[in-house]
Structure 1
Amino acid sequence: MRSTVVEHLVPARLILSTQCSSGLTVVLRYLARDPLAVRMAFPAEYSLDEDRAPRDGAEVVWVFARELLAHGLALPSGLGDVHVRPCRTPHTVVELRAPEGTALLRFESGALRRFLAASYRAVPQGREAALLDPDRALAELLG
């Protein structure tokens, strides 16, 4: 099993209103052992649910399809909790929806493209199936 991990620190703007935003650093991760997914990690203080926020400085992590991130750079994409869409060049917006609220983040598109390129060097697009481990995935689901 490949243990390759791609990790990029990416600046983002958390959009709070039409006239107010806050800068933060997001960690984008790609794990070759989970080849279809990307992870977007935020500092704990950015949790939408203060009662369930990670303790001791742990990060809040959203996991979604690598393909969603790639498609969202060109066209509005996503169903459910995660949506990605191009915004005024050179930016891309990621919208994260939870019962507690919605977070809207703006990234430089180039930073997302560089992350994706690194992930494709680790596991080329179309080769993900060769690394899937259905037994491990089932074991993780069943706890």
Structure 2
Amino acid sequence: MRLREGGARVDEVCVRVPMYLLDGVASWRELDVECGYRPENPYAVRLDFGAGEQGAVWLLSRETLAAGLRGPAGDGDVHIAPGEGGDVFIALGGGAGVALLTTPAGALARFLAATDELVPAGTEASRINWDRCIQEFLSI
């Protein structure tokens, strides 16, 4: 986790989580993924798959990620489901195909618990500056 200057208050959650990418028929390649959360965007979590040409950043619904720990969740390009042995499967799709990932459910649960300490689930709307959102929308 990162702290505000001086270590006074947590203002975001950044946690490295081990994830494994299905690389071929039955081989998995370990990825170094940073899971991030900021209260300014309270409904979203960020999965950062590294910098460079091969890197990618995905924004996922925090609620969908949490639901995927308990049962199949997601729609469109993102699907999450619990697997066997305490793992969770995450499928991320796009124009170039689908990436199938697996990660320990406990690591995601700890990450989500840290996000709940910043913004408890169900209170996200109170963290949004609706006046600014409307102003930005009207200026388009």
TM-score when normalising by structure 1:
0.82
- Figure out how many residues of one structure are paired with residues of the other and give that number: 131
Return closer, same or farther for 1:104/1:129 CA change in 2, 3 Å cut-off. same
Whole-angstrom distance in 1 between the partners of 2:139 and 2:101: 32
Aligned to 2:3: none
> Are the counterparts in 2 of residues 3 and 33 from structure 1 also a CA contact under 8 Å?
no
SS in 1 for 2:73: coil
- Give the RMSD, CA atoms, in angstroms: 2.3
Bigger Cα Rg: 2
Give the 3-state SS of the residue equivalent to 2:46 in structure 1.
strand
Indicate which of 110, 125, 138 corresponds to 1:114.
110
Q: Which moved more, 1:38-47 or 1:27-36?
A: 38-47
Aligned match for 2:73, one of 55, 77, 93 = 77
Task: Tell me which residue corresponds to 2:63.
Answer: 67
| CA–CA distance in structure 2, aligned partners of residues 121 and 18 of structure 1 | 39
Q: Which runs of 5+ in 2 are unaligned?
A: 1-8
Higher RCO (C-alpha under 8 Å, 6+ residues apart): 1
| Aligned: 1:96 with 2:92 | yes
After superposition, residues 1-143 of structure 1 pair within 5 angstroms as 4-44=11-51, 47=54, 59-137=55-133, 139=136
**Residue identity opposite 2:39 in structure 1:** A
1:97 and 1:17 mapped to 2: Cα distance? 16
Q: What residue ranges of structure 1 are gaps of 5+ in the alignment?
A: 48-58
Residue 141 of structure 1, CA deviation: 10
**Secondary structure in 1 aligned to 2:76?**
coil
CA distance in 1, matches of 2:28, 2:117: 33
